[in-house]
């Protein structure tokens, strides 16, 4: 207790404690503010992780689309697959992947313009990954016709 003088000169005893030391601890406002900051940071970190996960899946699909497209183009060039236009044909191993093959005139008498597009259709009509290759190819029918003409000329002699 502490003695305090009143205006009349008398001493009164005061029962209030003097703040000799401050209390250790956090106020409710500080706890709420720290919780809000923590939850905001956690939300931002989770968003970055989700974007990273989506990017990883997209990169994986893009790489597979490129490999499938190169494979189909190689089959066309080597003659394993016929040079016919195809639209939206599913791959044998996975129905989610579709190929479109375009065979057009290449602008010269012996050239063909090959266009191969591979799409990954996860849900619905919009592809979530696609890749396209375009290549000029000499028309293999010209070689076949030339070989047949040479064989006919040889047998005629």
> By residue range, what is the domain housing residue 59?
44-156
Report yes or no on 33 lying in a domain: no
Is residue 9 one of the residues assigned to a domain? no
What is the tally of structural domains in the chain?
Answer: 1
Residue 20 pLDDT class (50, 70, 90 cuts): low
Residue 75 · residue 81 · CB < 8 Å: yes
CB neighbour list of residue 136: distance below 8 Å, 6 or more residues apart: 106, 111, 112, 113, 114
Please write down the long-range contacts of 91-94, taking CB distance under 8 Å and 24 or more positions apart: none
pLDDT one-digit tens code per residue, 114-153: 999 999 988 777 778 999 999 999 888 888 888 888 888 8
Q: Is residue 23 part of a domain?
A: no
Region 20-34 average pLDDT: 84
Q: Mean of the per-residue pLDDT values for the chain?
A: 87
Q: Which pTM value belongs to this model?
A: 0.68
Length of the chain: 157
77 occurs within a structural domain: yes
Within a domain: residue 10?
Answer: no
Q: How many Cβ atoms are within 10 Å of 97's Cβ, its own excluded?
A: 21
Whether 85 is in a domain gets the answer: yes
């Amino acid at each position: 207790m502490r003695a305090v003088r009143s205006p009349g000169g008398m001493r009164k005893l005061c029962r209030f404690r003097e703040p000799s030391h401050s209390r250790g601890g956090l106020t409710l406002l500080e706890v709420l503010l720290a919780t809000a900051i923590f939850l905001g940071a956690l939300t931002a970190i989770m968003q970055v992780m989700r974007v990273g996960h989506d990017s990883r899946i997209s990169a994986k699909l893009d790489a597979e689309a490129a490999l499938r497209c190169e494979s189909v183009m190689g089959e066309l060039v080597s003659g394993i697959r016929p040079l016919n236009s195809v639209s939206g044909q599913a791959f044998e191993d996975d129905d989610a992947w579709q190929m479109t093959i375009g065979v057009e005139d290449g602008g010269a008498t012996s050239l063909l313009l090959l266009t191969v597009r591979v799409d990954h259709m996860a849900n619905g009509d919009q592809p979530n990954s696609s890749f396209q290759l375009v290549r000029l190819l000499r028309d293999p029918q010209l070689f076949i016709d030339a070989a047949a003409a040479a064989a006919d000329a040889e047998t005629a002699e």
